[in-house]
Amino acid sequence: MRPRAQTMLAAALLLAAGAPAVAGAQPYPTRPPAPMPLAPAQFPPFREEVLPNGVRLLVVESRRQPVIAVSLSFAAGAVTEPLGKTGMANMVAGLLGKGAGARNAEQFAAAIEGVGGGFGAAAGDDFLQLSVNTLSRNAALAFELLADATMRPTFPEREVELLRTQTLSGLELEKSQPAAIAARTFRQALYGAHPYGRSATEATVKAITRADLVAFHKARLRPQGALLVVAGDLSLAQARTLATKAFAGWAGAPAPTPAPPPVPPRARGEVILVHRPGSVQSNVLIGNVTWGPADPRRYAATVANEALGGGSEGRFFRILREQKGWTYGSYSEVTTRRGPGAFTASGEFRTEVTDSAVTVMLQQIRALRDSVLPAQELADRQGSLTGRFPLLVETAEQVANRVATARLLGLPADYVQTYRQKLAAVTAPEARLAAAATFRPDQGVIVVVGDGQKLWDALKGLAPSARLLDVAGKPLAPEALNPKPSVVAIPWERLVARTDSFTVLLQGNPFGYQVSRLARGADGWTLTERSVLGPIVNQTTVVTFGTDGAMRALKQDGTAQGQAITVDVRYAGGRATGTAKTPGPQGLTEVKVNAEVPAGILDDNLVPSLLPLFPLAPGATVPVTVFNGGRGNTKTWTVRVEREEIVTVPAGTFATYRVAVDGPDQPVTFFVNKGDPRRIVKIAFNGVPLEIVLAK
């Protein structure tokens, strides 16, 4: 072994053995070094001018890399949409690259992707923005595509309908997402009739025609006042030449937008609980309307918010996650809009600690309003904000987006360049005053989406007023949280023996099968159902019941996610007794079933087979109380006929009732044939790309 290698080995062995430090050696530091003085953000000079057609051109030239990012923004966000057509701006944005100029959707995408670039368009509350990024040698193509998408979109009917279908599917998915339900409820509560409070619905999206989209584009995407930002390897002269050529002949000003209705004043706080039966956790949003983008308190409010819930070092995260273990994360933000902004604190908590978590969040909000930040906490939070800012403006695309946002909101010309210095200059008293003006829960709203039966009594006293809604946003009376058992009047004499075979589809591909057989014996009925869902579920369910509908027994065997399922329940004398072993998040759950089950209550496995006998009609709502043998409890489901719909499945094309069922762990939609015989022809699971379709 060479001498140097021997020396290194000996040193390693000494260190591993805990040898004493050599005299004079430097001790390992116990505190991080002090931060270096804050250096100015190294932005290239901003050069801007107004083109003859009224477009504001702003160029941030940087020759460090041979890339460019170009964005073109218009005051054409959701605030400009006509009443009853919410979602139009997003649809217009989504179609600008789906056929423009002489290119169809595929050719347009191939043109930019073929040179390694990207194109995008999106609409927010206030603005609609198109963007292109590519190598600077392809700048002419980037401007050509941007001009085609802006001036000459074709809005093909096929693409319009495809986007409409995708949008409706997204809205359907949101119905099963508590975070989306909370956000929609929160916006409406804060902003009321102001456009910021609106959300797209199935009705508004269906009301939008191709002619509406064409008219919106013609009225709103005009050059006067538009903002064209170019960042990267391009000079002002080059950008001007390319823009002048690409946008030749484009002229005009956007149509005036009527002033939006004012945001409703709120003198006191309010709790809004959205009842989502059976939820094991709650989604919480707390907040209030704030000020516009020009308010001078924005820097101090940013620092205060960073201390409250801006990240993993914020008080929310440290207390609610690290100290109490109630959540994976809790955060807050101050949203800036062209009109009134908003402060929002958020978190997801286990049902049993939701009221305590909301109380702690309110306490921390008030603490920042009422007391000055300790010097070290202030310095740490300012250091976090100023230290990560350079990472947010590393690429040409990031620079273009940051600069465009500042200009569109009417912020000072040097806003981006001086942002870090302004944050670093905030004092503790300024942060407290900004917190007092920005965080106003006593004039705001607390939105909670969760199990109202377990939460209502604990939450309703946290604000001067409280109200209860269902997941569709309709008012609920508190007594609806504890409904009396609902027995559906089923015409048992109309029940007929049958066998239905279904194909299970995952993302449109075959994934398994289900066979449901309803047979009549000498003294009653037997439902036998065999379900195979790929490697996930393989089970057999047998339910027996009398000719008058009286439940007799449930037997279920099989596997789910590799774990055994066994449910054996007997119904007799107004009770259900037996045992159940079912998989859950923490492994197998064993339940000894012994519960009261009044006459007329259905085993939940039987509902799909009996649904065609329910009193279904357009707009009908039917509550039905069911017994879950796997858990040994009773629960009321709500069956809602949403609309009539034509459905095509392997067994044929059917005119159906679209029936939503709320209450199961996974909300589900059934499509029931209107003709004779009535039968289930399709089952869809909200939020899951899984369908069960009638095969024959």
Q: Please name every residue paired with 512 in a beta bridge, in sequence order, or none if there are none.
A: 504, 533
Q: Which of 323-337, 383-397, 470-484 has the highest mean pLDDT?
A: 323-337
Residues in the chain: 696
Task: Quote the percentage of the chain above a pLDDT of 90.
Answer: 73
Band (pLDDT 50/70/90 cuts) for residue 2 is: very low
Banded pLDDT at 7 (limits 50, 70, 90): very low
Dist CA 545 CA 597 (whole Å): 14
- Per-residue pLDDT at 19: 43
- Maximum pairwise Cα distance, the chain: 98
Here the tokens at position 72 are 């073109």
Q: Mean pLDDT across the stretch 547-553?
A: 94
Predicted confidence at residue 18, as pLDDT, reads: 44
Instruction: Decide if pLDDT at 14 tops 70.
Output: no
For the entire predicted model, the pTM comes to 0.81
Cis peptide before 485 (omega within 30 of 0): no
Confidence of residue 584 (pLDDT cuts 50, 70, 90): low
CA distance 440 to 266: 10
The pLDDT, as a whole number, for residue 218 is 97
- DSSP per-residue string spanning 68-85: EEEEEEES-SGGGSPTT-
- The two tokens of residue 134 are 């590519």
pLDDT of residue 40: 60
What residues have CB less than 8 Å from 637, skipping those under 6 apart? Answer: 604, 607, 623, 624, 625, 626, 661, 662, 663, 664
- pLDDT tens profile 74-83: 999 999 999 9
Compute the distance between CA of residue 382 and CA of residue 425 in angstroms, rounded to an integer: 9
Q: What is the distance between the alpha carbons of residues 437 and 291, in angstroms, rounded to a whole number?
A: 9
Could you read off the pLDDT of 647-681 as tens digits, one per residue?
999 999 999 999 999 888 778 999 999 988 899 99
What's the CATH code, domain 270-396+406-481?
Answer: 3.30.830.10
Whole-number pLDDT of residue 26: 63
Judged against a pLDDT cut of 50, whether residue 11 lies above it is answered with no
How far is Cα 187 from Cα 177, in angstroms, rounded to an integer? 16
**499-536: pLDDT as tens digits:** 999 999 998 899 999 999 999 998 999 999 999 998 98
> Chain-centre distance of CA 66, in angstroms?
36
DSSP label at 484? P
Say how far apart CA 505 and CA 511 lie, in whole Å. 5
- Percentage above 70 pLDDT, the chain: 94
pLDDT of residue 290: 95
Tens digits of residue pLDDT in 300-329: 999 999 999 998 999 999 999 999 999 999
Residue 586 is predicted with a pLDDT of: 56
pLDDT computed for residue 574 by the predictor: 93
Contacts of range 248-253, beta carbons closer than 8 Å, 24 or more positions apart: 250/53, 250/147, 250/150, 250/151, 250/223, 251/53, 251/54, 251/223, 252/222, 252/223, 252/224, 253/54, 253/222, 253/224, 253/225
Residue 582 is predicted with a pLDDT of 82
pLDDT digits (tens, 9 = 90+) for 441-499: 999 999 999 999 999 999 999 999 999 999 889 999 998 888 788 899 999 999 999 99
Q: Identify the pLDDT of residue 648.
A: 96
How much is the average pLDDT of 225-242? 95
The arithmetic mean of pLDDT across residues 97-126, rounded, is 96
> Beta strand pairing status for 524-533 and 537-546?
antiparallel
For residue 629, the tally of other CB atoms under 10 A from its CB is: 31
CATH of the domain spanning 46-246: 3.30.830.10
Provide the pLDDT for residue 21: 46
- Per the DSSP assignment, residues forming a β-bridge with 502 are 514, 694
E strands, 20-138, are 46-50, 56-61, 67-74, 118-123, 128-135
Asked if the domains 46-246 and 270-396+406-481 are classified in one and the same CATH topology, the answer is yes
Specify the pLDDT at position 12: 39
pLDDT at 563: 84
Query: Domain residue spans in the chain?
Result: 46-246, 270-396+406-481, 492-694
Over residues 393-400, the mean pLDDT reads 82
pLDDT over threshold 90, residue 199: yes
